Structure 1
């Protein structure tokens, strides 16, 4: 005891004072007794000691005491750990018993439907509508049962540390769209407004586990729809938090105005087998595994998950996840014309996100937050003689909806602009009425650069088609002659027809050898240009071009030779130029592109000829 006390320094003094005070009390020391002190600090740690007093008795009376001091801190801590472990084991046992009861109920419910509907179908085998109805319900119940089994298997894998996370390239737009396609019908069934909002432009190609991302979002969104009453609202918000080296951190927020959760349940909402109450389980179903699996998946993916909720007011789940990206996004020119675009949506975040993407695609964009304002802006734009080319309109808006907004805009503008409906829902049920209102096409929400680009490309094609139809009247190349070198009869006919519509005289050759012969035999200045196919029998386009350029014909160097080929890659263009060609046209042939290129070619040739003549005139005067 002395060694112990000496090793504890000042603590020994306080302990001895306590022992002295104890001895001075009127205490019966006939038997050993103990004192527990919990407020002793020793080396910065609260420690517990057991102190025993043993009286030493002699014939003459008490002679003194033996004091035994033992440090019980570790023993008490071990006892506490064992006690906690026992309580946890008991709690787990109770939770698993409750879980088995829930699972038994959940499995039996769809199984009862499957067995019952199969029995009815067999009994009504000749009643086709009834059999179809039974098969539909069997299919629905089977999918529910499969989802339950998958949850149980996932939980088992997580507990055994056998669940793995992939690190593969995937299209983020496709991953989110697949989630929306699954959740939107569920929300629509309950008349719940479902929106997806992107506050930033997200990289198109990410590296991670797309399947597990989908599982996380579907679990949370399905719960949000499940626990939100009819007429409520569920929203998925995606933010880009930050980028560090080749990693982007995304935040997914799921908000609803459903039944919410109590503060007590929020503390255990991610624990396995937990549900708010037996009443909740009986009303809404489920096993209490979904959010536990979700939390484990998020942690395995290197992220975090949190929840804020208030009973009766709804819940907000926030998931933050890291993803890799390759820095190899497509930065090639988008090939779009510049359009004046109006975006109409009652959610300002959706409008700003769409405008951000459209501006990066080179478009002139504005937005309106309701249909009335949109109609007003279209009218003002027309009156100022700067009309819109295309209008994106959300289908579901307060005030006047997308259909009525489209109808009013179409009445103002006629066919002078394109109207595209935006919707997170399947537009098949509304397509007929939308078309009648003047809608040209549809685009799915949420927006991505590729989907908006595709929508604008359709606009561009319509503009190009209208221009192309008018092209024969816009271009007149009377007096120009072209040598058309093409081995395919149908392609030769198409090109020849295009040229004749712009009043171009055409000679044809079936291969490079015939083309070289015709050129060699032609007088000076006979051909204003040569359209040269590449892949041909006998002699290909490259060889024919080299022979023409190397010849002694007066036009060998100056005659424009244009590649006209299905070889459309950058290296093919380089090969054409290296062979001595002046330009490159890709098949399938675009009439407008041919006319524009011929116009530039003929103007360039006339300028060159004029310069040559001026040079010759100047030389003679000298």
Structure 2
């Protein structure tokens, strides 16, 4: 009977099958045979066992059939089914299968979570009960032609009664070229909708914030223009005794302090919102440092402090970057050092850290002999609104934004900023790096600078001022007349147009916000309708200082943009820019 024993390498299943056949059960068995070349063959064994008179198995009669081809087809089908089942089971979206009438056949686990019904409860239920639509059959029929069609199924009713917002896709089930049902794939977008609402709310808040800042900038800067401008005129045109000079000086200092606070808040807001962009222009870094020091020399002299600066020979004559932003950082840091230094002075040193390709990394160091900084407070220095002394007892004015703004500007310019204490020695050193582009050739810029320095400054211009505020009218008129110019006034854009029709003006200072017709609209009309020989230079004057204002003004046809409060030096600089080499006569 050994020939009835199981073949070599036969598994436990085949052994049990043979054992059952020897007990009189039918013999049906599929066998997977792996050959030495690792090819696989599937065999099907079918037969009957013959028993002797004592009931012992003596022979097996049957056939062995090669079913490899059929088995491979079955395995591929099984793989397809299992892939579909896994996709349906583990899908993050609800998948519901329907018959042709829209009745639910089956669903996955996510369908249970989305609807609150178990799969057993869903089976046989009409989908219209969940989606609340009366034209479900029409929607299903239309999906046969276009699965992407808007099906208007935007929500599903939960078992507990509330609606769940969804995005749905309907896909037909096609078997043997025949539509036998549909799949509905529903994605719960409740959280996404909340995020979208939060995003829209934040954007709306930012727009409101920008509008508020623009309004506050205009409303505060306009009267500040009058305060600072009139104090300038008062000090220049009136013989004041020492006590009166002190009063005027206090008024001006208070006005400038308020203006600095406004500038800091607007600057920080623009940087925080990501709306600050850098201007890449060639400039002379030595001239920039010199101008910056000149701006602060009077402040240093008043405290009896010395100021010195140096620029390494390794720094090229011309670099390309945002000169105004670099100057702003220097002013903030030097001004901060002057604020906390009471003896000795401040030294500014500019050197080249490294040069790579067409870029140069510049390192600036501002050292002072002031009160210094405790090491444990250094990490907090660049935080917004942080100040070393407590606000209830502090002696130093300011918003606490200067260093925070400096850090963000330095970051924008590809650099870093840090503090180096002097240990037991007095004072502290602020250092920062910025990345600038190299410019070639340098000769032309040097010639331009020298030419500008020797430009003819004598001219008398016909100037028209568009300004509706009476105080500002007086301020700007007096400033321009003291520079020797003939000045006419207009209170709105329409009046500007009328005056330009009857007289030729060299220059128009145009306030943006005026009643009846604003300055931007008036400028567009001037550029569109006036002949070239009657076209004046137009300079925007605005109390706003927000991102986009300058671009908007220049896009409308204006030649330059300045912000209030106006100063005589700023007006003279703008005039010199456009008329420095000309001699204009009334």
Provide the TM-score with structure 1 as the length reference. 0.32
TM-score (norm 2): 0.34
Larger helix fraction of residues: 1
| Higher relative contact order structure (alpha carbons within 8 Å, sequence separation ≥ 6) | 2
